[in-house]
Structure 1
Amino acid sequence: MTLEKVFPMTEAGKQKLEEELTYLKSVRRKEVVERIKIARSFGDLSENSEYDSAKEEQAFVEGRITTLENMIRNAKIIEEGAGDSETVTLGKTVAFIELPDGEEESYTIVGSAEADPFEQKISNESPIAKSLMGKRIGDKVTVQTPAGDMEVKIISVK
């Protein structure tokens, strides 16, 4: 028996995945099938790049549907704001200053399924999150990054 990976996420993150899944199943899948039908009408399939492209897109869409179904089925909802208000845990937003120059950064630590660095949401599997998890306000933490070690001080946890 294989254990399936659990995907920690917020309720909003799960809802976003469900919306994407619904869109892929009800809209994209039909669009791709229509593209395949049109490409077939162009004749010889062995030299039909439009048909090949449509089939590749179909494989991508079907793969994404399978991935989303698995993530939703194995979702573990993070209770936002649960637990100690001073300790960095999954679902919390942590602000820290980079030492020694004091540049402030703030991230919400989420599961890999809903990580989005452009929205300041980082995966709990990222080097920064791994280093910060379990730490408290005021703690100095060394974060190992591909660019080298960085020392930070946690200034808030929400």
Structure 2
Amino acid sequence: MANYVTQEGFDRMKTELEQLETIERPKITQQIAEARDKGDLSENAEYDAAKEAQGMLEMRISKIKNILAEAKIIDETNLDTSKVSMLTTVTLMNLDTKKEQKFTLVPDNESDLKTGKISVSTPIAKGLLNKKIGETAEIVLPNGNKLSFEILNITI
């Protein structure tokens, strides 16, 4: 299964992978060696903690490598702004609160609510996909509540 990413997201993951492999991995190896030098490993909490941290680090490295290996970089120059799709920024009117909201639909691994980036797999994003300016999106949230949004604008 392809992992869709932006060029920015791809570059960020490559940088994180490099940091983990060249800086964090040697640090943990050093911590394990120092803890091992302290004697009896059966009662050595520092050793256990370092080994656990090493396992978590290796899982993160493996996960990033898998994502990068299957990554499909989305070409933002070919995006269609006539309808809501991945990487489009949509301006909405919440028909219940009469407040404007703005979201950018991004791949799962790039969502960041603080900056208005929501994953395309969220209920709101799914309800907005393929809608056009002027259309209303009726969205049912997991808790059963319903939201109604009017699409005001779609940009890149």
TM interval, shorter chain, is: over 0.9
**TM-superposed deviation, 1:42:** 1.8
**TM-superposed deviation, 1:17:** 0.6
Q: Which moved more, 1:9-18 or 1:99-108?
A: 99-108
Runs of 4+ in 1 over 3 A off after TM superposition: none
Q: Which amino acid aligns with 1:154?
A: I
Unaligned 5+ runs, structure 1: none
Q: Distance in 2 between matches of 1:50 and 1:95?
A: 51
2:87 is aligned with 1:91:
yes
Q: Distance in 2 between matches of 1:80 and 1:143?
A: 27
Contact conserved, 1:81 with 1:91, CA < 8 A, in 2?
no
Unaligned 5+ runs, structure 2: none
- Percentage of identical aligned residues: 35
- Give the 5 Å matches for 1:3-152: 5-147=1-143, 148-152=145-149
Q: Distance in 1 between matches of 2:115 and 2:69?
A: 25
Give the length in aligned residue pairs.
154
Q: Distance in 2 between matches of 1:14 and 1:80?
A: 14
Q: 2:153 aligns with which of 131, 152, 156?
A: 156
Q: Provide, for residues 69-113 of structure 1, a one-character-per-residue CA deviation record: whole Å limited to 9, x for no partner.
A: 111111111122523322111111111111122122111111112
TM-score (norm 2): 0.93
- For 1:43, what is the secondary structure of its paired residue? coil
TM-score (norm 1): 0.92
**TM-superposed deviation, 1:118:** 2.0
Q: Which amino acid aligns with 1:40?
A: R
Q: Distance in 2 between matches of 1:48 and 1:145?
A: 48
